[in-house]
Each structure stands twice: as structure tokens, then as C-alpha cells.
């Protein structure tokens, strides 16, 4: 009986630490336990987190797609797809699991060894399972909050790798994150004949107009204006690659 009580206390502590890592408290603790249960330790496969992994993958994809659509309006469909594929990949999900410390909270069979030897596929799956658990326990909003908090850094990195020097995209993300505003671009002047015009454009965020820049096209001037705004805001203005 003492051993059973000890096991129960150990499980409760594991669940507490998982909730702390997620920043979410489950109403249904049995659901949280199921999220952490790998097939290697479950009575049957249906008593493991495999079905939850299936649902969590869909919820993760939805929220990531919405984030990318909202934060990077300059990205084409192909660019959005490429960045999404990085963020929802098993490798990224496994890395996020490690950062949250889930590798030490999983319920797995002894044959899988210690936390440092748990396969990437299993670590990625538990992250998706827990997203599904939060979604089922509290709805889409807490699942969205969890995903946005955890993937934000990876999203910025993946977007930067994909686009290289797109200052407008960098400024868009920064403005949304820091001010809750979408940058606009104001045409201040244009000079030259119709076949060879130059444009003076300034980036505007809220009521603030940032240093203007000239360009041989409106697109070029907007990129330069976005770079000026990033510099003025004290950000690294190296930008993303077009």
C-alpha cells in the first residue's frame, strides 16, 4: 500500500511540473496523464497518447497558419507553406519538448532508457499530444496561447531563414508584437519623368512617422523606409533575405 501511495505522489508531482511548464492547469488530470503516456507503457495503444497526437497536430497547424497569415502579410503562399512546415515538423516539436522539460516528464517503458535517449519522434509526439490535451480540456483559446508563447522564437527564426532581407516583414512582426499595430507606408514625394521616377516613402506605426527613404520604385522605397524604422526603433536592421 505504501508503494502505491508513493507512486501516486510521484505521478501527482510529475503532473504538477508538466502544468507549470505549460502554464496551464488541467481540470481533467486523467487527460493530462494520458497526454504523457507513451504506448510502451500503456496497457493498449488506445490507452496511450497516440490519438491525442493526431488531434494536436491539427490544432498546432491551425494556430501556426493563423500566426503566419497575420504576422507576415508580405509572404506568398509558398513562403507561408515553407515556414509552416518547419514549425510543425517533428524535429521542431521535439526541440520544443526539450525546452519545456517534457523529456523528463514522459511516461515511457524502461526499454527506452533515460531522458537523453528518448527518440525525437516520441518527444515531438508528446508536444502535439499536450496541445490536444489543452484544447480538449479548455478549448482553442488556451491552446492558442500555449502555442503562440512556445513557438514565437522558432517562428521568427524560420521566417528569417526563408525571407532573408525583407525589412517590411521584420518591421511588420515587430510592430505587431511591440505595439499591436500594423505598419503603413506614406508616399511623401515623387520626382523624375514617368519612365524613371523616384519615390520618397516613410513607414508609419500608429501616430509615429519614421525617417523617410528614397527608392527607384515604391517597393524599393518601402523596404528602405522599413529599414530606417527598424534602426530608429533600435532593432538589428539586417532584415531577411528576399
**pLDDT digits 0-9 by tens, 18-50:** 999 999 999 999 999 999 999 888 888 888 999
Residues of the chain with CATH 1.10.1520.10: 2-163
Residue 1 confidence (pLDDT): 36
Residue 192 confidence (pLDDT): 85
In angstroms, the CA 13 to CA 184 distance is: 50
Digit-coded pLDDT (tens) for 72-129:
887 777 778 888 988 999 889 999 999 999 999 998 887 665 556 788 889 999 999 9
Residue 121: φ, ψ to 5° = -60, -40
Residue 4 confidence (pLDDT): 60
Residue 102 confidence (pLDDT): 92
**107 three-class SS:** strand
Instruction: Give long-range contacts, CB 8 A cutoff, 24+ apart: 136-145.
Output: 136/28, 136/31, 136/52, 136/55, 137/24, 137/26, 137/27, 137/28, 137/31, 137/32, 138/24, 138/27, 140/59, 142/24, 143/59, 143/63, 144/63, 145/23
Taking CA 92 as the corner, what is the angle to CA 90 and CA 93, rounded to the nearest 5 degrees?
60
Asked about 190 being catalytic, the answer comes back as no
Residues 170-188 have a mean pLDDT of: 92
Residues of the chain with CATH 3.30.160.20: 167-232
Among 33, 128, 154, 162, the one annotated catalytic: 128
Whether pTM > 0.75 for this model: the answer is no
On whether the 2-163 domain is CATH 1.10.1520.10, my answer is yes
User: 127, 138, 121: which is closest to 101 by C-alpha?
Assistant: 127
CB neighbour list of residue 54: distance below 8 Å, 6 or more residues apart:
132
- Please check whether residue 177 is in contact with residue 148, taking contact to mean a CB–CB distance below 8 angstroms: no
Residue 232 confidence (pLDDT): 87
Residues 213-227 have a mean pLDDT of: 87
Among 33, 57, 162, 240, the one annotated catalytic: 57
Residue 138 confidence (pLDDT): 96
pLDDT-based confidence at 165, cuts 50/70/90? low
Asked about 148 being catalytic, the answer comes back as no
**Quick one: CATH architecture of 167-232?**
2-Layer Sandwich (3.30)
Amino acid at each position: 500500500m505504501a508503494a502505491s501511495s508513493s507512486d501516486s505522489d510521484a505521478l501527482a508531482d510529475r503532473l504538477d511540473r508538466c502544468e507549470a511548464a505549460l502554464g496551464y492547469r488541467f481540470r481533467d488530470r486523467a487527460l493530462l496523464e494520458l497526454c504523457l503516456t507513451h504506448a510502451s507503457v500503456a496497457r493498449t495503444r488506445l490507452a496511450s497518447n497516440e490519438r491525442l497526437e493526431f488531434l494536436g497536430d491539427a490544432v498546432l497547424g491551425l494556430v501556426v497558419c493563423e500566426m503566419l497569415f497575420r504576422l507576415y502579410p508580405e509572404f506568398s503562399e509558398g513562403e507561408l507553406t515553407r515556414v509552416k512546415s518547419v514549425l510543425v515538423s517533428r524535429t521542431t516539436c521535439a526541440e520544443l519538448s526539450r525546452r519545456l522539460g517534457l523529456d523528463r516528464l514522459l511516461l515511457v517503458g524502461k526499454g527506452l532508457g533515460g531522458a537523453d535517449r528518448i527518440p525525437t519522434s516520441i518527444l515531438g509526439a508528446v508536444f502535439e499530444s499536450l496541445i490536444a490535451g489543452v484544447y480538449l480540456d479548455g478549448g482553442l483559446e488556451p491552446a492558442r496561447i500555449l502555442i503562440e508563447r512556445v513557438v514565437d522564437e522558432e517562428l521568427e527564426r524560420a521566417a528569417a531563414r526563408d525571407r532573408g532581407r525583407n525589412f517590411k516583414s521584420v518591421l511588420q512582426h515587430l510592430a505587431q508584437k511591440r505595439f499591436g499595430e500594423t505598419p503603413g507606408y506614406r508616399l511623401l514625394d515623387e520626382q523624375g519623368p514617368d519612365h524613371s521616377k523616384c519615390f520618397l516613402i516613410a513607414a508609419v506605426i500608429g501616430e509615429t512617422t519614421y525617417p523617410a527613404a528614397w527608392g527607384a520604385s515604391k517597393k524599393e522605397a518601402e523596404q528602405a523606409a522599413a529599414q530606417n524604422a527598424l534602426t530608429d526603433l533600435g532593432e538589428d536592421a539586417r532584415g531577411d533575405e528576399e
